[in-house]
């Protein structure tokens, strides 16, 4: 599957604007991490773009989250590596490969970064720095949905929290116009 086809699917299945921004953020960060690790940025990016495809259908039924996506994608030529990555982000399979561990940690982190950017005086990703982000990370009630223990699984990628947050921030800055931040 190429990116254009994946994006068409996203437009078809996801109507919520913020959810579209979220998956674009996850895609951009997955690409940045793939570059960092010398991995396949197309594959990692596609996994990010498709990871929440069935979110609107499964928000009341999290047991089914990503399993419906797996069914939909059977009609397309999608690498099994991508399917596994999508399922791993929601804990439907144990994150084992580097890419699976990456998407598991990236998913909540994009939410933390968006929330931090919105409360930064500049209201932008460009204005955010790592010190500000680390402070927000330590405030348990700030963006509480971004589960800190999940973000901390970045250590399984061999990255310290500050290194990981910086890579995520860099990835999101690459698409700041799309994110409106």
In the block, residue with structure tokens 């409106």: 180
Site for Fe ion in 13-42 (CB under 5 A): none
86 in Cβ contact with 74 (< 8 Å) = no
Taking CB under 5 A as the rule, does residue 52 contact Fe ion?
Answer: yes
The closest of 93, 90, 86, 91 to 72, measured between CA atoms, is 86
Candidate ranges 33-41, 99-107, 134-142, 160-168; the one touching Fe ion (CB under 5 A): 99-107
Q: Residue 71: phi, psi to the nearest 5?
A: -60, -50
> Min. distance of Cβ 22 from Fe ion in angstroms?
6
Nearer to Fe ion by C-beta: 59 or 97? 59
- Residue 120, SS3 per DSSP: coil
What letter would DSSP give residue 181? -
* Chain centre to alpha carbon of residue 76: 22
> Min. distance of Cβ 139 from Fe ion in angstroms?
22
Candidate ranges 48-56, 71-79, 115-123, 156-164; the one touching Fe ion (CB under 5 A): 48-56
Give the count of residues interacting with Fe ion (CB under 5 A). 2
> Min. distance of Cβ 159 from Fe ion in angstroms?
19
């Amino acid at each position: 599957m190429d990116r254009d086809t994946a994006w068409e699917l996203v437009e078809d299945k996801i109507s919520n604007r913020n959810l579209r921004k979220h998956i674009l953020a996850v895609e951009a960060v997955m690409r940045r991490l793939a570059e960092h690790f010398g991995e396949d940025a197309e594959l990692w990016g596609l996994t990010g773009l498709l990871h929440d495809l069935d979110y609107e259908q499964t928000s009341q039924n999290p047991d089914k989250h990503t399993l419906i996506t797996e069914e939909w994608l059977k009609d397309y030529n999608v690498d099994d590596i991508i399917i596994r990555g999508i399922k791993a982000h929601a804990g439907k399979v144990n994150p084992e490969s580097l890419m699976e561990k990456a998407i598991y940690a990236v998913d909540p982190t994009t939410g933390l970064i968006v929330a931090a950017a919105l409360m930064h005086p500049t209201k932008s990703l460009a204005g955010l720095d790592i010190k500000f982000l680390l402070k927000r990370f330590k405030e348990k009630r700030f963006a509480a949905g971004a589960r800190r223990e999940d973000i901390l699984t970045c250590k399984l990628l061999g990255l310290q929290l500050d290194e990981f947050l910086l890579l995520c921030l860099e990835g999101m800055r690459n698409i700041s116009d799309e994110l409106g931040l």
